[in-house]
Amino acid sequence: MINYKEKIAKILSDNIEEMDETELLNMIEIPPNSNMGDFAFPCFSLANIFRKAPNMIAQELKEKIVIDDTIDRIGTSGGYLNFFIDRKTFASNVLNEVISKKEKFASSSIGEGKTICIDFSAPNVAKPFHVGHLRSTVIGNSIYKINEFLGYNCVGINHLGDWGTQFGKIIVAYYSWGNKEEIEKSPISSLLALYVKFHDEAEVNPELEDEARDWFVKMENGDVEALSLWKWFSAETIKELKKVYKRLGIEFDYYTGESFYNDKMGVVTEELTSKGLLTENKGALIVDLDDHDMPPCLVQKTDGSTLYATRDLAAAFYRKNTFDFYKSLYVTDYSQRLHFAQVFKVIELMGHSWAGDNIHVPFGRVTHEGKRIQTRKGTVVLLDDVLKGAVERVKEIIEEKNPNLESKESIAEDVGIGAVIFNDLSNSRIKDVSFSWDTAFKFDGETGPYVQYTHARACSVLRRADVQIDLDYNPELLIDDVTVEVLKEIYEFPNAIKDAQIKSEPSIVTRRIIDVAQAFNRFYNEHQIIVEDEEVKKARLAVVLATKQVLSTGLYLLGIKAPERM
């Protein structure tokens, strides 16, 4: 597909010797109104170079530049040089690319031969999978799909929180107030109740905290009783977690939680010791990071137990040695920024050149009705309840508006789950999200169901037309403003995917497919597509097919299904 920005930058470079092509490329803008051109070059920064007013520079450049058949004309507006593309060439360029490449459109091989590890989701074992875990799960899954689409070999890792003092707390709670039959019947809710009960009781009896720490030390020392309970709690929880992942359509290449690295931490601490980086501080072992404006990185507690940092260091080395990654991404909320900055700095101080290839991908926190979600307080909204609620709401809408729809159950599932995922990914990654039952299931406006419905509408048109769509169409019939706006949105789709990959920002894809859907619906409302004139019909159907493909791919990259009927 023609890269118009690069083409214009080359034209400008041939006429502006004082600036290189890359500088000029970065200055090219897309005007807010197509009447001002399809691309614009601001001449203000050239005023000091040429000692002339920007509008004079723009006029002189217009008179000098020689254009080819991809550019229709050049105009000026104030200090801007405006480029109007040849619409026939543009339509042919965009549609031929989409129709010929089909589901491969906008894909790339730029990541070929490079492995990216993506650590995402990572809920805690023996605790419920709540809405606070949704962000890491769906953001990480989308980042995985986007990178894979661009040719990278992706390794999805669920670093389950299956180790730590919380297990000591649950063991104490189980022996004090637990019931084996209740846990086997309803593991998540029973373990949550025990965890909340422990913290309520510990406020009155702080000695319970000491008991919990003692049980965790027993776990680390291989105590058979402690490990047996831990394995039981873990197995019951993971079974429940996998049900939620299946419903979300998410798979992991590896479930390697914190416990996986228990026998891999010793090598790291030995290297830290041999390189003189470990120091003792009040009985604990730390890496001093004062010279780097960070608190010390705690590697071992005074009681000999390990911490998140110890296990994350071991995990980083294991992943580098196992996968030889190009990049290793950690998708967690922004409260862990300092933690990962410390871990990555320790790896750098150990002298490993790949320290900079570890990247924290932070995201905003989820609150419930403006309050922080806290498992220990029992203030959680179970993700499974949210998904069930969304699907039930879609079923109600279907019964109201289209009761004879085939495959109602599966469509309700796809649309309900899609609404929840899209609602999350439509936000900038770093933005905090407040969960509210009143707004949890958004189906109106710029939503997942809106994009899914637009995709289904395009599929419906293609079914009714019942003709083979190929490259035999007349692009001269596709040069009106409304049609060109659809094509422009489609044209920008590959750039949006690349930008989303660079920034690890799925909301860029979300925004793009909303724009495509809106432009297409204007096209659909203004142009009758299945008309008697075969030439017009074929040309407009080509636009419908291209739109369908882009929406389908965009939804896929977000981890959302694209129903063909709604």
Instruction: Give the helix/strand (H/E) hosting 360.
Output: strand 358-363
What are the residues whose beta carbons fall under 8 Å from the beta carbon of 54, sequence distance 6 or more? 42, 43, 44, 46, 47, 78, 79
396 with 421: CB under 8 angstroms?
no
Specify the amino acid at residue 219: M
pLDDT for position 441: 67
| Beta-sheet pairing, 358-363 with 278-281 | unpaired
Q: What is the dihedral of CA 91, 92, 94, 95, to 10 degrees?
A: 100
Q: CA 529 → CA 348, 490, 540, distances in Å?
A: 60, 18, 6
Give the separation between CA 219 and CA 226, rounded to whole angstroms: 5
Cα–Cα–Cα angle for 557, 468, 558, rounded to 5 degrees:
5
Instruction: Give the helix/strand (H/E) hosting 154.
Output: strand 153-157
Q: CA 410 → CA 394, 414, 450, 524, 566, distances in Å?
A: 11, 6, 17, 27, 11
pLDDT for position 372: 57
Give the separation between CA 158 and CA 160, rounded to whole angstroms: 6
Give the separation between CA 475 and CA 10, rounded to whole angstroms: 26
76 with 523: CB under 8 angstroms?
no
pLDDT for position 376: 46
Helices (H), strands (E): how many in the chain?
21, 13
Helix, strand, or coil (residue 84): strand
What are the residues whose beta carbons fall under 8 Å from the beta carbon of 482, sequence distance 6 or more? 522, 523, 526, 527
For 309-318, b/e burial (b = at least 16 CB within 10 A) is bbbbbbbbbb
- Among the listed residues 340, 361, 338, 363, the one whose alpha carbon sits nearest the alpha carbon of residue 135: 363
Tell which phi-psi region holds residue 378, choosing left (phi > 0), alpha (psi between -120 and 50) or beta: left
Lookup: tokens for 147: 């990178």
Give the separation between CA 258 and CA 306, rounded to whole angstroms: 11
Which ranges of 205-335 would DSSP assign to H, the alpha helix?
Answer: 207-220, 224-248, 265-274, 308-323
Phi, psi of 20 (to 5 degrees): -85, 170
Q: What is the dihedral of CA 126, 130, 135, 136, to 10 degrees?
A: 0
Give the separation between CA 297 and CA 338, rounded to whole angstroms: 10
pTM of the model: 0.92
pLDDT < 70: residue spans in the chain: 368-380, 435, 437-441
Q: CA 71 → CA 20, 85, 374, 490, 510, distances in Å?
A: 21, 4, 58, 19, 30
pLDDT for position 375: 47
Phi, psi of 472 (to 5 degrees): -90, 75
Helix, strand, or coil (residue 115): strand
Q: Tell me how crowded residue 13 is: count the other CB atoms within 10 A of its CB.
A: 16
For the chain, domains (ranges, CATH) are 4-85 (3.30.1360.70), 115-260+314-377 (3.40.50.620), 400-557 (1.10.730.10)
pLDDT for position 304: 78
What are the residues whose beta carbons fall under 8 Å from the beta carbon of 283, sequence distance 6 or more? 302
- Among the listed residues 95, 30, 16, 104, the one whose alpha carbon sits nearest the alpha carbon of residue 61: 16
